[in-house]
Structure 1
Amino acid sequence: MTELVHLDVAAGVATITLDSPDNRNALSAQVRRELLAHLQTAIDDSGVRVIVLGHTGRVFCSGMDLKESRGAGAQNQGVNEIPAILERIWASPTPVVARVAGPARAGGVGLVAACDIAVAAEEATFAFSEVRVGVVPAVISVTVLPRLLPRAAHELFLTGETFDGPRAVRIGLINSAVPAVDLDAEVDRYVEMLRLGAPGALAATKEMLRRERPTALGAQFAEMQELSARHFAGEEGQEGMRAFAEKRRPSWAQAE
């Protein structure tokens, strides 16, 4: 069986590529299975500093494979695998960057939203098309709604309207929309910035960003003070301060 999702690791960057262009990179059972496995492999690799999720072909990801879903029971529609994939990206201690050169629809937008950083070509388009085929964007809402402005979420979830990269930036779905010729350079810019961060500090910062905030500020300050002190005194914090004093790059940011 030909692999439909590829994993390549070089210079501390794991590139995961959706490669099912004939199917518009739809989330078929095989794609879901391979994507989940490659994500876990990249996360488990201590040498991987950044994960980049990209694609071949014109389309980033068209969402669930509707041909497979017709007449299928819930257990055959990816209701277990899709949440697992989104959670694996969202909770990954390793930063994940989405490289979006073409359209993303439905579950494909969920993938984009789950990533820490998302960069798209200006002409890439997005849509929550679920209501137009009689379903609800329920699972992807878990990763999408924390990103979107509330008014835009209501509009776009309910209408299914298509929108472009610049609007995706304005409503918080992606970080940057650039001309297609500049897409790889913009992805590389984010990757290089992320590689300057200490792996443990990045993982802890991601965990902090995911936490629900206590209502009492005192409790929140106490928790954050303990987190800060632990990393100041930790190996990475001490190495970072030594490197700053010695005017050199810290060990984790040395050239590969």
Structure 2
Amino acid sequence: MNARTKGTLLTTLTWALVLIFFFPIFWMVLNGFKRESVASSVNPSLFFEPVTEGFTAAFDRGMQGYLLNSLTAATTSTVIAVVLAIPAAYALSIRRVKNVEGTLTFFISTRFMPLAAIVLPLFLILNELNLLDNIYVLSLVYAAMNLPVTVWMMRSFFLEVPFEIVEAARVDGAGLWREIVGIVLPLVLPGVAAAALISFIFAWNEYFLALNLTSSAARTTPPFLGSFVDGRGQFLAVLSAAATIAALPVIIAGWVAQKQLVRGLSMGAIK
């Protein structure tokens, strides 16, 4: 088998896998434009008369408020996580503190604990402080949850910065603030963008804490989507429409930042 044939087979296999993984998303979007009777039919239909009833019903149930809460929580938590992760990653890579390995192990070990193990004490503490159902408190919880992963990612990006550049800046009299913000940070902006986008996606998609720490005022989109499945049945068309709307911000953010995301995730892959 020559190289051209291998390349053709590999391309065909890649496209087949892409279509297999993309098909559920395509079917979800398709169901969003169907009538409920057509979407819930045991005989799936690829051709139908498109309607917007599902999208109208989603917004009639107040989806815009849940989207705003998700945007607030995801954006606020991402900003907090990135701002805290930059100096932490810098200290763990370029200007190293003592016992770097132990610190890194501690950071990542906080992600090993299942959320079910921490939600009860967290609920009791917030209930005692009268801070349940608060979108900014939920944002702080998300920031704390995503901070370890953000630090680990950013540290790998900071390690790729040539130390000679940092030394030259120090010789020229650059202080710590200028060293980080003016010299190192511009070199790792694609990595920062990648870490920020992943932190945003984690916060946007989080379901368990949003379900247990909020009730109405601060409830986000994932628990709202779950409300379409109740004792009366599963409302497939409106659920698909709402899920399509909920996926759009992440898709748009990924599309806008795709160059930075690819560059950031590939930093360090090739020496």
* Larger RCO, structures 1/2 (Cα 8 Å, 6+ apart): 2
Bigger radius of gyration among the two: 2
- TM > 0.5: no
Question: TM-score of the superposition, structure 2-length normalised?
Answer: 0.24
TM-score by length of 1: 0.25
